[in-house]
Chains A and B, each alone.
Chain A
């Protein structure tokens, strides 16, 4: 297959990556930039660099989990499924409805499974659906614990207002870097997971270093995310009016760290081996929605402040977001099914290869 054809087929994944860079990746640095604690150029550089590092070094774990849901085995099929997910996210964003990339991806894979007659691994689907509940809950728990600890520490040490701000700024940078790494490690599965089974690349060996085809795929996906960060995320970062709750810089720091921790535990193979080594149950490596983790973390901080915090939460916004969690996979599944039909019957492409047991 020529390079141009390969790139055409990968373009939908790159579009999805760009869209993730523009929307989801901004979670790591949004408040820091919006409150002018960090310059956009600094945030964009750090975010892009660490998304790529995270994607290449740790992206395999979560992507493998997604592969268990449905192994799309042809490049045109992967292209169409990724396109369906990207269009769903873009369309819902255009309508002003919040959409999660990972949910759109799950929906479009199920659409492919239905179209190709492949069985959907209900166990994996159940685990993924469970993360949609677990990740916001975990985010809330992490945020509550972290926020409480930090507040107690500040009350104890009483730092000068300027020192506190300087430390918060440093914390936001470090948390943003960690968040970007976690987004790269966990989110790349959403962007390039479609193409893992049908990767057009071959393993490369450069002396002592070897780069697998999947790592090459993730590198390209990471670059697409980075382009999204540089070209469009500024606008998203500066839009804070529709946020769930107004946060202080300290609250923002806690939200970024909690969100990053949630993404990290669902994508870290090292943590999985560690837990397995201790004989503890492991956490499934799956791509989870960063936005859900952020929402859970914000709610956690709000609930921690009691009735005052509960009143500050914009419940209407939350209702809109929650409804998007149900409609996004459904729309992506339907769109995936329709697009696969069009690509197969109008463009004559092989969107799936029948696998005989």
Chain B
């Protein structure tokens, strides 16, 4: 096989190389329309944003083309209007911390709920699994706005939970649940839960229960088997699910806006504010680029860990 291949390659080497070059050129030509479109309406505008973050805000809207690093300074610091003293921008830090902590809590709570669910589905008889999976996919494909609205109706002051509690005399004043950080957390956990279950299931489906059995044969307890055998084996799924939940949580806009309200802003709402009522496009641009870097860092962690995990257990 190899011998004849070599001979052929030697004989038609140049023609072969020319054909290969042509194939590569065709590949690029086929991909070009999609690439051009994405450069126009996705990647290109990001570069413009990077440029805008170094400009001066316009009086009413837009920017003035004067170079300035003020926007990047404003991401973390604020200057007193009167005596120009520099201090940390507490309001911004609060928003960053809320975004980060709520996203991590969302990831954690979806993991705690999603792990047993994915395990449950993966241990059903093979012909029942599609049905259970289907039950996870329906909410996944239902519009995020509708699901957020459903949570909103549930926890409003006049909502179902408060009405029931009032009726049974457990409380005499409705509990303010809407427009709190807790509401945002519950809402995000609810809307992103399917994003956790699906990749977890994908890796649990391939779980080899002979290894689990071996663990029990060696007198491991249920918890030890879970921690030392199952968890390491499905770690790629855990990481994939966590990333899939963490990234949209960090940039969430609709859920914090409807459930958290104007005072409990997250990164996404804060960025939008700069392009709306805030009228500070450069700051908004700098904040967007910051968010982008955090997301990229999370993705790099993901790629590294899944790579390492795969090699370790292979």
A and B part of one assembly:
no
